[in-house]
Structure 1
Amino acid sequence: MGMNVTRHFSDTRTEEGRVRILVQTSQFVLEAEGPGWHHRSVHPDLGDVTLELAWLPGLGACLYGQVLEDLVRQVQRDGTAAEFGGTDLPGAA
């Protein structure tokens, strides 16, 4: 019997809100929240996650930028994104 293990990939918090990205099986779970809003979605790769984040109306530019920095740092550290569709992060420099 297989286990469905969830692990944290990144957790970014600012005064604007919080964005968590979890790895579950072979997909990424995006959880984002701020004052008066909450979002949860599932994606096949980090590219889709960053695109979804870019379209969230409640997510400010500061938090979005911090999330991208955190994702780039995480990918450089452990390369996990390569396991799930590559490291192409739209919007990341």
Structure 2
Amino acid sequence: MKQACVYIMASSRHGTLYVGVTSALPARVWQHKNGSLGGFTSRYHVHQLVWFEMHADMLAAIGREKQIKAGSRLKKIELIETMNPQWIDLYENIL
């Protein structure tokens, strides 16, 4: 089932962050974890899903992704800690 989603991956607590958007969150996180996408998340070992937010459609999700990316690092950390104060990897919760 397709579901528009914005997500944040991290290398560790308060580590390197990556903000992305997808219509298949479990599959996309698996790709990040296994390095099959290459690029930024593979290079900087950004493999933990620490935050996500579902949206009704991709246009809404892309708009939210842009809003988050335009914000400061502190705002991203606050967003993560509101949902996931321990910075646990949420991957198992979405399967």
Give the number of the structure whose residues are more often helix, by fraction. Answer: 2
Give the number of the structure whose residues are more often strand, by fraction. Answer: 1
Instruction: Identify whether the pair has TM-score above 0.5, normalized to the shorter chain.
Output: no
TM-score by length of 2: 0.31
